[in-house]
A and B are shown apart, each in its own frame.
Chain A
Amino acid sequence: MAADVDLFPTEGNLGIPLLSSVLLHVGLFALALFGYLIPVGRGESWGGTTGGGGAMSATLVSSIPLPAPQTQTQNVLANQSKGLTQSPPKEQPKEEPKAIPIPAPEAKRVGPRETTQKKPPPKEVAKVEDNKIPFGEGGPVSGPYGSFSAGGAKGGLSFSGGTGDFGSRFGWYVDGVRRKVSENWLKYEVDPNVDTARRVYVYFEIDRSGAPGNIRVEQSSGVPSLDQSATRALQRIDTFGPLPPEYNGRYVAVEFWFDYKR
């Protein structure tokens, strides 16, 4: 019996596989080197100068024709003006009173936790004065004396002069003027054939002594006798009484109108 067993026989021909392996690796290396050193089918790069046409061009211009911005206008419906009136602060919804559990007889009473909560300062609400009416809420212009009509005719006065508060400060004087003009207008002076006429406006001034002056028809009614009766009503008046001493102006201007309807 043999003493050892040659499991791996060393004898044989290893030269051929080894040689083919070496050759294969050398071939792969040579192929890689070839691919690096000799570019094949790369072409021109993008944007290259030698490529010819196809690129964008930019030209310097003096102005750019952009669309004009819209003019800024004040919004009549909402602007930042505070106006005469401001909305009162919204009422905070009242919290529902929380249900308080009925303490158990033995339970230890615990007082409510005192918290110091800073209240926000109340918003100041602009006071609305009685004699001012916010824009858009006044309705048609009307005087404090209301309107009157009787016998188919009516009339009116408007005062101007001083600081513009003549009528409110000296309402008694304005009332006196109204009475005196109405007293001195004689309806029978109007042509009896006239049934209706357009409104006639007469302007006059009251000087410090109370005498009316500078009486003129500002807008004719188209009926001469009616215009004349209106001016004669004023010419008949010697004085309305001296202007109040507290009034500083030299005179007050009055525009007097009336409608005529028989």
Chain B
Amino acid sequence: MKRYTAILLGLFILVAISSLSAQDWIRTGTGLGVEKIRLAAPDFKPVTTDTGTQNLAMTFNVTFFNDLQNTGIFDMVSRSFYPLSVPGAPQEVHLSDWGSPPPNASMLAFGNLGVTGGFLNVQGWLYDTKNPQSPQVLGKQYREQANDENARVIAHRFADEIIFRLGGGVPGIAESKLYFVSARGGSKEIWQMDYDGANQKQLTHLGSIALSPHVSPDGTRVAFSGVTKDGWQILMYSLDLNRLVSFPHFGGDNYSPAWSSDGQNIALSSSRTGNTEIYAVSSTGGNLRRLTENKGPDVSPTWNPKTNAQIAWVSGRTGLPQIYTMASDGTNVVRVTDQGYAVSPSWSPNGQFLAFAWVRHYGPGAPGASDIYIMDIASKQWAQLTHDGGRNDFPSWSPDGRHIVFQSNRTGKTQIWTMLADGSEARQLTTSGENSQPNWSFK
């Protein structure tokens, strides 16, 4: 039944991109926004005063603030601008104190937490300071076993709720995971950590070499390539069972598995016929089919996660490796890069961009550095994201399309870094040993 009646509320918007420079369309296309929401997130008030609560409150508050700051869509209000009285409940809020300078916040996230009966109880609210008539945007309550890990989990969840509401329906990444290769234990193994670098833990214990991890869309399995008695093979690690599960071995050497976003297929490169070519196989290991056929090597496939109808990969058919795209059945091959040395493509979640590592001026006498670039597939416009020297490689998109994780040796050793998808706010996540080939989970 149609029950809506039209009443207009006029508001004017800016739909302009001030110039045609690359930075502008990157910012707009990656959803980082041309304007950020000014958000105040004062510490949650502890309602119980024991030491345990104080420690959990500190963990919660630091995690919560960092999650909001890292998302890239908020302009966080400096703590020094906060009013003297910080609210812990709705009746303690004075919106005018927060909505006017110096805080001048558009949104206010606040709440309280306490420990009762061994459980951590957290209440959180999000208020629109510019709308005193109906300020509440969000109100949530959480209850978990009282420990440090759960304080982080609750902070992640509430931050993600806020990001989901204010970020245009794009889920937050605070609960997403990163998978990477670490040699800190002597051999290269697959490791896992939180998106902010916390909770690093080793998954595989092959004692040989494991490379190029790629997690399944449902987050239950990690495919990677490892050295076996049959040579390099695609191996499968179950995150539910915490052990390797069976996956068929193909002939030759097999590398760089990549899940399609529907979880139905895995693309990989295989030399089973002598030359390294791109293949697709169902996620159970059956129905192997060849997608490329030429003399040069074809490696590093990645699916277009928006449609799963295209694959980008690296081909050396013309000499130096370049990025190509094709339909998922191997037709309609299009060369994307036209110079230098381009490797490690990663397709953005919205299907609009390719991120890759590129040495644009490669060869003797060319002072080329390997940097991370992104390219708009439709217009072929590209932009350089890293400028800080070192060798930057293996970019991987975050599920919200606002961040990119990559490896860099700019500080000496190869480590995992993240940055916003416009190249700003680079942060180092790992420090121990050598860490490489990061892959960001689908959610």
Contacts and interface: CB of A to CB of B under 8 A. Distances in A.
Interface of A: 141-169, 171-172, 174, 176, 178-188, 210, 233, 236-242, 248-253, 258
B332 interface: no
Interface residues of B, number: 43
A186 B17 contact: yes
B138 to A, nearest CB: 10
Given A146-B12, A148-B13, A186-B29, A240 B169 contact: yes
B15 A179 contact: no
A152 B9 contact: no
A155 B17 CA distance: 12
A222 to B, nearest CB: 18
A157 B5 CA distance: 17
B13 A178 contact: yes
A248 B20 CA distance: 41
22 contacts: A141-B10, A143-B10, A150-B18, A153-B15, A156-B10, A156-B11, A158-B8, A158-B9, A164-B5, A168-B133, A176-B167, A179-B34, A180-B31, A181-B13, A182-B15, A182-B28, A183-B27, A184-B28, A184-B29, A239-B169, A239-B170, A242-B169
B146 to A, nearest CB: 30
B10 A158 contact: yes
A63 B20 CA distance: 83
Nearest to A140: B10
Contact of A171 (B17, B128, B167): B128
Interface string B6-45: 1111111111111110000101110101110000000000
Nearest to B2: A250
Given A169-B134, A241-B165, A150 B16 contact: yes
Interface in B334-363: 350, 352
B166 interface: yes
Contacts of A210: 169
Contacts of B166: 172, 176
A44 B335 CA distance: 133
B16 A187 contact: yes
B10 A187 contact: no
Contacts of A250: 3-4
For the complex of A and B, the 10 pairs showing the least CB-CB separation, nearest first, are: A164-B7, A241-B169, A143-B11, A167-B9, A153-B16, A160-B6, A148-B14, A147-B12, A155-B15, A151-B18
Interface in B168-196: 168-170
A172 B130 CA distance: 9
Interface string B97-138: 000000000010000000000000000000010110110010
B14 A157 contact: no
Given A151-B17, A182-B13, 14 more contacts: A150-B14, A153-B15, A156-B11, A157-B12, A159-B8, A165-B7, A166-B9, A172-B107, A174-B9, A179-B34, A180-B168, A240-B168, A253-B4, A258-B15
Contact of B379 (A166, A172, A179, A188): A188
Nearest to B24: A187
A251 B6 CA distance: 12
A123 to B, nearest CB: 29
A145 B19 contact: no
A145 B131 CA distance: 12
Contacts of A161: 4, 6
A154 B15 contact: yes
Given A151-B18, A186-B17, A145 B107 contact: no
Contacts of A174: 9, 11
B164 interface: yes
Given A144-B11, A161-B6, A168-B133, A183 B33 contact: yes
B89 to A, nearest CB: 20
B237 to A, nearest CB: 31
Contacts of A162: 4
Nearest to A142: B10
A168 B11 contact: no
A154 B167 contact: no
Contacts of B379: 188
Contacts of B5: 160, 163-164
B168 A149 contact: no
A171 B130 contact: yes
A172 B14 contact: no
A129 B432 CA distance: 63
Nearest to B15: A155
- Among B14, B18, B169, B170, max chain A CB count under 10 A is at B14
Interface string B214-242: 00000000000000000000000000000
B215 to A, nearest CB: 22
A98 to B, nearest CB: 47
Contacts of B134: 168-169
Contacts of B164: 241
A185 B8 contact: no
B160 to A, nearest CB: 13
Nearest to A232: B378
B13 A156 contact: yes
Nearest to A164: B7
A168 B107 contact: no
A155 B10 CA distance: 11
A167 B11 contact: yes
A223 to B, nearest CB: 15
- Among B107, B134, B379, max chain A CB count under 10 A is at B134
